[in-house]
């Protein structure tokens, strides 16, 4: 008898979901929010790291191939770099959702952040002259930016993984239906 009650609850839950249950997360809006806040928070932390000379890679490193290096330290270009970091974070949130959303826990987010760091600091960045070559960048810059990208990736990854894999909210609703 209990089995039939559970089947009925599942059918009611499916019907509610089809009718537009308000508790279903919209992936596009959620990725926009997570990417935006990841960029705002971790871009500000990175800006602080640049201001405190923990890293020699300027805040506007994403526009370095197109702007004179001496101009990158001007406030205007730092704000442009901050905005581009926010944009990059939004793109990263969508990429994480599309590729890694099924992974649970923090490990995938950490690997995701380290992957972005490797992409920007070991392959594409030096090739485009956005980041100094590995031998010239310095250990402080490498470690600081690696740590920042790691927690940035963790923020994005764990936020998305938790939202789309947390079944405790759904189970509670099914039990009370």
Residues ≥6 apart with Cβ < 8 Å to 13:
170, 173, 174, 177
Residue 14 lies in a domain: no
How far is residue 34's CA from residue 89's CA, in Å, rounded to a whole number? Answer: 8
Q: Which of 3-7, 82-86, 129-133 has the highest mean pLDDT?
A: 82-86
Query: What is the domain range of residue 32?
Result: 25-167
3-class SS letters over 146-166 = HHHHHHHHHHHHHHHHHHHHC
Instruction: Say if 10 falls within a structural domain.
Output: no
pLDDT at position 172 over 60: no
Q: Per the domain annotation, does 18 fall within a domain?
A: no
User: Is 6 part of a structural domain of the chain?
Assistant: no
Quick one: average pLDDT of 59-77?
Answer: 81
Domain assignment present for residue 92? The answer is yes
Greater confidence (117 vs 102) lies with 117
Q: How many domains does the chain have?
A: 1
Q: Can you give the pTM of this predicted structure?
A: 0.78
Query: Mean of the pLDDT values across residues 62-81?
Result: 82
Q: pLDDT: is 8 or 38 the higher one? A: 38
How does the average pLDDT of the chain come out, rounded? 83
pLDDT of residue 4: 45
pLDDT band at residue 162 under the 50/70/90 scheme: confident
Per-residue model confidence (pLDDT) at position 68: 80
b/e for 149-174, b at 16 or more Cβ within 10 A?
bbbbbbbbbbbbbebeeeeeeeeeee
Determine the pLDDT at residue 27: 86
Tell me, yes or no, whether 176 lies in a domain.
no
Question: Is residue 78 situated within a structural domain?
Answer: yes
Looking at the domain assignment, is residue 131 inside a domain? yes
pLDDT at residue 150 above 60?
yes
């Amino acid at each position: 008898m209990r089995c039939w009650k559970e089947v009925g609850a599942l059918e009611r839950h499916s019907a509610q979901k089809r009718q537009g249950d308000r508790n279903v997360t919209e992936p596009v809006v959620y990725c926009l929010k997570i990417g935006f806040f990841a960029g705002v928070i971790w871009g500000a932390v990175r800006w602080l790291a640049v201001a405190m000379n923990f890293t020699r890679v300027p805040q506007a490193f994403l526009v370095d191939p197109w702007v004179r290096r001496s101009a990158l330290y001007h406030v205007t270009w730092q704000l442009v770099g901050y905005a581009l970091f926010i944009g990059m974070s939004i793109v990263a949130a969508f990429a994480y959702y599309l590729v890694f959303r099924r992974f649970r826990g923090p490990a995938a987010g950490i690997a995701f952040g380290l992957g972005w760091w490797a992409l920007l600091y070991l392959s594409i960045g030096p090739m485009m002259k956005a980041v100094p070559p590995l031998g010239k960048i310095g250990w402080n810059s490498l470690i600081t930016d690696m740590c920042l990208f790691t927690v940035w990736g963790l923020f994005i990854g764990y936020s998305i993984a938790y939202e789309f894999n947390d079944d405790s909210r759904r189970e509670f609703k099914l039990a009370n239906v």
